[in-house]
Structure 1
Amino acid sequence: MKKDIHPDYHPVVFKDTSTGDSFLIQSTATSKATIEWEDGNTYPLVSVEISSKSHPYYTGKMKFVDSAGRVEKFQKKYNWDKRNAEAEDAKKEDA
């Protein structure tokens, strides 16, 4: 490896602002804010909004959007609600 071209790799504390969890890892991130960690040493503190502690993929708590509203909007756009009602009425008459 070439010397003096790589960023400084050091311990950094990342704090998830949505859950309040903190974790210490090696990173190249820098920050003026610092925090005293459990081992008694002071490390740079980087605040993040989403981490593995709060991301829906890692927590298994997926957030679903209202898909019913989208379906109804699609049906209105192409008049599918009327087509389906007419098709059901025609089946009932044939039976």
Structure 2
Amino acid sequence: MRNLEHSQQRLAQLDVSIEVFHASLEQAIADVRGCTDFDAPMMRGIMFWSRTNRYMAEGLDPQGWKRTSRDNIADDPPDGESRDHGDQRLWGCGEPT
């Protein structure tokens, strides 16, 4: 339960709603379910990572977050308001900020 509370607090610090986060995961899982044994062995993992990032970026775009193609992740909003990403970018991808 403590991990859940920590996760919820961290999402709040990042100004990411639980609804956007869950919807992104649910959509990515649905996409992965379309994979078959004829897909490359690592396809499920790559698709889950990529689609989660895609759906998260699509969900955060209306809130002013911008997209960067370098790591396929959402980045700080254009209003100049700084968000605390900790040591790494939003999803732990890319170089430390």
State the TM-score, normalized to the length of structure 2: 0.23
Question: For the pair shown, which has the larger CA radius of gyration, 1 or 2?
Answer: 1
Kindly indicate which of the two structures has a greater share of residues assigned to strand: 1
State the TM-score, normalized to the length of structure 1: 0.23
